[in-house]
Amino acid sequence: MSQKIDVRASPTTSCSASDVLGRPTWAEIHLDHLTENFRALRTRVGPQVKILAAVKADAYGHDAVIVARHLEELGCHWFGVALPEEGIALREAGVTRPILCLGGFYNNQAPLLLEYELTPTIYDREMLERLNAAARLRGLIAPYHLKVDTGMGRLGVPLAELEEFLDRLDSYSHVKMDGLLTHLASANEPRQDEFTRRQIERFHRAMELVRRAGYRPTYYHLASSAAIYAYPESWGNMVRPGGALYGLFSAAPELRPVMSLHTRIILVKTVPAGAPLGYGGTFVTRRESRIATLPIGYQDGYCRAFSNTARVIIRQRYAPVVGRVSMDLTLIDVTDVPGARVGDEVVLLGEKDGLSVTATELARKAHTISYEITCGISRRVPRVAV
C-alpha cells in the first residue's frame, strides 16, 4: 500500500515553518539560538573587544542576509565576507555596519569596494596599488586591513618581509591602514599548542613593527572561534567568530545550533524481505519493511556519504537512512516507527522531541567537519527564519 502527497509552490525566507508549500524540504534558521550564541561570545570577550561576525560563504550556509540583519540589530560591530560580491549583497539588503573582505579583492573590483563602502584585506603590493589608484580617482582615503602571514601559509605578507613592505607605504597617499590581522592555523588543535603560541608571538612582533613604522591601525585581530575560547591572549581588540556563532563549535557546549534541516515523507510503501533498495541495491531488507521516500538528496547538500549510515528523527524516534542517497530523493526505514505516514515531518539535522542529529555527527559519517555540512546545504533548500 502506498500514499502520495501533493507538491506546490516553494517557501520563502519570510514564511514560517508551518507555511512551507511546494516541495516540503526546508532549513530553519533559529534566530533565538543565534541571539544566545552572540551574547555568549559578547560575555566571553567583554565589552572592550569588538566582534566581527564571519558571514562569508552565505553565513556558513545559514543565509548571510538573515544572519547579518539579525546580528546588526544585536549590535554586532563588523561583518566578514570572503568576496566583495558577498559584501555587495549585504549592502543591497540594507546592512550598514562595516564589512571586511577577508579574501581581498580581484582584478578591477577596487572601485566597487569604494562604491559599496567595503574594507579590503590587503596582502600584496599590487592590491594596494589598485586600491590607491581607485581612491585617488574618487578623491578618497580608502581604509584597509593589512594581513600578515604568521604561519598559515596562505594569504598575507610574510613576517620576514613586513619591514620592507612598510618602508614603501608612504608612496600610497590615498589609502589608510586601519587594521592588522593574521589567521591562526591550528587554534582548535591542542597538539599544536606550541605552533599556535608562536603564531601569536609573531603577530605581536608584527604589531611592534607596524607601530615602529609610524602606523596606528584601529583594529588588531587574529582570533576566530577556537582561539576565542582557547587563547584569550589572541583576542586583540576585535575577534572573528564564525562556527561558534552558528553553534558548530563543540568545545563550547553552551552554544546552540542555529540551523536545522527538515523535510516530509512523500511516499510510504511496504516491501518484502530480500528487496534491494536504491541505486546499486546497496541495502537489502532483512524483513518485510515499511520504506518512506523523502524529497531531498545530494543536490540539496544531503551527502551521498550518508547512504546506509545516517539517521533521522520522526515521530519521537530515530529512523535509519537505507540505500544510496540519490540526487533528489532519500529512503528511510520506518518499520519501527508506528503510524509513520505521508506528510510526517522528518528532521535530518537538528533537535526534536529530546532527540538530536548534529552537524558533527553527520560530519563524521562524511569524513569532514561540521562547517562543510551546513555550507553544503544548497540554495535549492529555502531558509526559513524562525
Catalytic positions, written as ranges: 56, 279
Secondary structure (H, E, C), the chain: CCCCCCCCCCCCCCCCHHHCCCCCEEEEECHHHHHHHHHHHHHHHCCCCEEEEECHHHHHCCCHHHHHHHHHHHCCCEEEECCHHHHHHHHHCCCCCCEEECCCCCCCCHHHHHHCCEEEEECCHHHHHHHHHHHHHHCCCEEEEEEEECCCCCCCEEHHHHHHHHHCHHHCCCEEEEEEECCCCCCCCHHHHHHHHHHHHHHHHHHHHHHHCCCCCCEEECECHHHHHHCHHHCCCEECCCCCCCCCCCCCCCCCCCEEEEEECCEEEEECCCCEECHHHCEECCCCEEEEEECCCHHHCCCHHHCCCCEEEECCEEEEEECCCCCCCEEEECCCCCCCCCCCEEEEEEEECCEEECHHHHHHHHCCCHHHHHHCCCCCCCEEEC
Interatomic CA distance for residues 264 and 332, integer angstroms: 11
Cell of 122: 590587503
User: What type of residue sits at position 205?
Assistant: R
Interatomic CA distance for residues 282 and 309, integer angstroms: 12
75 Cβ contact partners less than 8 Å away, ≥ 6 residues apart: none
The Cα angle at residue 207 between residues 204 and 211, in degrees rounded to 5: 145
> Hey, which residues does 262 pair with through a beta bridge?
26, 347
Cβ 355 vs Cβ 316: under 8 Å:
yes
User: What type of residue sits at position 94?
Assistant: G
